[in-house]
Structure 1
Amino acid sequence: MTCLLHSLHCLWLVVIWLITLSASAQRVPADESNREIDQFVRRLMDSAHVPGLSIAIIRNGALHYRQGYGLTKSDSTQRVTSETIFDAASLSKPVFAYAVLQLVEQELLDLDKPLFEYLPYPDVASDDRYKKITARLVLSHRTGFPNWRKNRRSPKLAMVAPPGERFGYSGEGYVYLQKVVEKITGKPLNTLMTELVFKPLQMTRSSYIWNPAFDANFSLPHNQDGEPEPKYKSSLANAAYSLQTTADDYARFILAILTSKGVKISTIDQMLTSQGQLPTRFSGGETLSPTLSWGLGVGLERTPAADYFWHWGDNDTYKCYMVANRKRREAVVYFTNSTNGLSLIDTMTRQFMGFSTSTVGFLGYK
C-alpha cells in the first residue's frame, strides 16, 4: 500500500510538472530572461522568413525589454537595433489620435462638431452627407469614406455609406481630419506632432516626414520573395500612414496612454471606450464581433479575463503590431521589414500578453 501511495504521489508530481511546462511554453513570464526572449523571437522570425524585426515589451508601466533582430537589408550585414527606423504604416493613426485628443482638451477642437464647420472639403463637396462627419466619426472609422479613393491622384472622393452608419476603416477620414487640424492650429502636421507628442514623450527618432538623420540606420522593405526593395522617403506628412519611428519610441507613446501622460485620465477613458462593435471580418459584413470594437484611434478587445487596446500597420512591405493592457500596464509592439510580418500576431500575443487574440481572424492574416 505504501508503495502504491508513493507511486501515485510521483505520478501526481509528474502531472503537475507537465502542466507547468505547458503553461510556461505558452507564455514567457514577466521576469523572462533576455536569452529566452531572444531564442523565441529568432525562432519565430526564421519560421516566417522575416529578415528584420524590432520589439519593445512593457511591464508594470515601464520599458522592460527592447531589442532588434536580423538585418536591415537581407543581402547586407547591417543589424537591426532598437534604434532602427521602420515604417509605422497605420500605427501612425493612434499617435495622431492622441494629439487630436490634446486639441480637444485645449478646446481647439470639438469631437462632435462637424468638420465642415472648421474646413469645407472640396474633394467631396458634391455629397452633402459629408457635412455630418466629425472628429469622433473619423477616429472611430465611421465617416462613410472608403479606405482610399479609387484613383489616388484624383481630386474627387466618393462616399460609400452615410456618416455614422457603420464601421468602415478609412485613411481618407484621417486625411480630412489632418487638414482640419492644420487649419485650426496654423501648423503643418509634423511640426504639430513634434510639439505635442515627439518632444514631450522624448520620441527622438520619430517623424511623419523623412529626416536625413535616419539615413544611417533604417530598415529596407522586403517583398514576398524576401528581396529588398527601395525605401520611399516621403517629404509629405500623412496622418494615416507616414510615421517613421522605432520600437523604442513607439513604446514611449504606448506608455503615455498606459500612464495618462500628456492628457487627462478622463481623456484616455474616452479613447478606450467603445464607439461601436467591429464586424467579424475587416472586409465587412452584417455579423458583429462579440469581442472586438473600436475606440478613438485604437481597436479594443474584451476577453473574459481582461480588456486590451491594439492596432496594426500594413504598408505592404512593412508590417507591425501593438497590443496593450491598461489595467496591468503592459504591452508589446513590434515592427518588421517583411510582407510576412503580421503572421506573427497570434504567437507574439500569446507569448508576451498571455491570450489568443481575435484580431487575427478579423484582419485575416495567416
Structure 2
Amino acid sequence: MNLPILRLGILYYWVFLFLVVIQQAYGQSALTTTEFSRLDQRITQLMDSAHVPGLSIVLIRANKRVYSKGYGITKADSTQLVTPTTVFEAASLSKPVFAYVVLQLVEEGKLDLDKPLYEYMPYPDAAADERYQKITARLVLSHQSGFPNWRKKRESNQLSMVFSPGDRFGYSGEGFVFLQKVVEKITDKPINELMEERVLKPLGMTNSGFVWKSTFNSNYALPHNESGETETKYKPSQANMAYSLHTTAVDYSQFILALLKPTGLKKTTTEEMLRPQSQLPKRFSGSDTLAPGLFWGLGIGIEQTPTGNYFWHWGDNGAFKCYVTANSDRNDAVIYFANGSNGLDFADEILKQTIGGQHPAFGFLGIDWREEVRKQANKRAEK
C-alpha cells in the first residue's frame, strides 16, 4: 500500500471523527437561531395566557451562558421593558446561595454539618421542645429539621416542632432562620455582610442583594396578582436567608455556574451538596408516598431520572415566581424569574422548550401547566 495515501486516509479519518464530536457537542450546548425564535414566541404566548407581565430568562449550555433575554414589562401600567438585568425577588432561590456559604464554613472547619446547632447557640424560640437539640446544619439544609415552614403567628417568639428531627422531609424556612443565627454567631458578622463578602462579590453578582439597594431603583420588577394587577413591592431592610434575595437572571446564572464548574467550593463538597440527603414525598402539600428519583441535597433539590441527573429549586413569594433546573451531566441549565402570581404555571413547558428531560419535581409542586392556559396558548400558536 502507498504510504502517503495511507497517512492521508488516517488524517481524513481523524478529521472526520473530530467534526462528529464537535457537531455532537454543539448540538448539546446550543440552540439554533430558529429554536431561539420559537422559544421567544412560546414564552410570550405563555405569559399572555397566564397574565404574567414580565419574565427574565437565562440559558446555560456546557458551562456557558448562551442566551439571556427579558420579556414583557416591569409594571403593568408602565412601558419599562424587562431586561436580563432587571431585579426580581428570588424568593426561596435564596436558600441554595446561603447553603453555598454554609458549606464554605464547613470546609474551613468553622461549622460541623452534624453537630447539633444548639451547641453553637441555644434557640429560645424552640427550647420548649427538647427535640430541637437534635437539629444539625445537615438536617436544616436537607429540610429534615422538624420545624414547620413558618410558625403560625409570625410575630410570636414561640416555635413548635411538627416532627422529630431527621424523621422525614419537611420544607422549612424556620430551619434556615435558625441556621442563619448560628452562622452569624460563629462568624461574628451580620449575615448580609457575610453573603456579600463570600458569594455576591466573588461571583460577580453585582446587581444582587439580600437587602434592598438604591442601585435597584432604576430597573426592578413589581409584583402582580393572578389578574395581572400591580401589588405593593417588598423592599427588605433585613436579610433573611430563606427568601430575601433580590437578583437578576444573569446574576443568578453566575451562582449556578459556580455549582456546575465548581467554583468557591471543593469538588467533593459540591458533590456532597448534590448528593441525596432525604427523599421527597410525591406532593409538597402532604403525602406519605415517596417520589421515585426525587430527593433533597444540601440546600437544593435533586432529580435522578432516566433522562439525566438534575438539581433544581423553585421560588414563590406570592406575586413573584422563579425556577431553576440544571443538568449536572451536561452542565446545562435554565433560570427564569417572573413578576406574576401565575409565573410557575408554565415552568414545565419552559423546561420542555429549553433543557428537556423528565422532571418529577413538577408533580411534587403540583405544577402541570393548567389545561385552560394550555388551550389558550395553543389557540394563539395556531393563528
Give the structure-1-normalised TM-score: 0.91
1:210 equivalent in structure 2: 212
1:329 equivalent in structure 2: 331
Over 3 Å counting, the alpha-carbon distance change for 1:339 and 1:164 in structure 2 is same
Residue 32 of structure 1: how far off its partner (Å): 2.4
Q: Work out the CA distance in 1 between the residues paired with 2:175 and 2:127.
A: 14
1:300 aligns with 2:302: yes
2:270 equivalent in structure 1: 268
Give the secondary structure class of the aligned counterpart of 2:310.
strand
Q: CA RMSD in A?
A: 1.3
1:184 equivalent in structure 2: 186
Gaps of 5+ in 1: 1-26
Quick one: which amino acid aligns to residue 46 of structure 1?
D
Deviations 1:170-206 (A, max 9, x none): 0000000000001111111111011110111000011
Q: Does the CA-based 8 Å contact 1:28-1:351 persist in structure 2? A: no
Q: After the TM superposition, which residues 278-317 of structure 1 pair with which residues of structure 2 at under 5 Å, given as runs?
A: 278-317=280-319
Q: Work out the CA distance in 1 between the residues paired with 2:124 and 2:29.
A: 53
Q: Work out the CA distance in 1 between the residues paired with 2:265 and 2:81.
A: 36
Deviations 1:269-321 (A, max 9, x none): 00010012100000222110012111000111111121100000000100000
Over 3 Å counting, the alpha-carbon distance change for 1:291 and 1:267 in structure 2 is same
1:14 equivalent in structure 2: none
Quick one: which amino acid aligns to residue 256 of structure 1?
A
Give the secondary structure class of the aligned counterpart of 1:347.
helix
Q: Work out the CA distance in 2 between the residues paired with 1:280 and 1:222.
A: 29
Residue 226 of structure 1: how far off its partner (Å): 0.8
Over 3 Å counting, the alpha-carbon distance change for 1:353 and 1:182 in structure 2 is same
2:363 equivalent in structure 1: 361
Residue 28 of structure 1: how far off its partner (Å): 10
1:158 aligns with 2:160: yes
Bigger drift between 40-49 and 318-327 goes to: 40-49
1:127 aligns with 2:129: yes
Residue 29 of structure 1: how far off its partner (Å): 8.0
Residue 35 of structure 1: how far off its partner (Å): 2.7
Q: Work out the CA distance in 2 between the residues paired with 1:311 and 1:180.
A: 24
Residue 357 of structure 1: how far off its partner (Å): 1.6
2:31 equivalent in structure 1: 31
Deviations 1:203-259 (A, max 9, x none): 001111000110111000001111001111110100000000000000000000000
Residue 355 of structure 1: how far off its partner (Å): 1.6
Quick one: which amino acid aligns to residue 31 of structure 1?
L
Identity %: 60
Give the secondary structure class of the aligned counterpart of 1:342.
coil
Give the secondary structure class of the aligned counterpart of 1:270.
helix
Structure 1 counterpart of 2:84, from 69, 74, 82: 82
Residue 96 of structure 1: how far off its partner (Å): 0.5
Structure 2 counterpart of 1:230, from 229, 232, 252: 232
1:256 equivalent in structure 2: 258
1:149 aligns with 2:164: no
1:111 aligns with 2:132: no
Q: Work out the CA distance in 1 between the residues paired with 2:322 and 2:150.
A: 20
Residue 356 of structure 1: how far off its partner (Å): 3.5
1:13 equivalent in structure 2: none
Deviations 1:126-158 (A, max 9, x none): 111101100000000000000000000000000
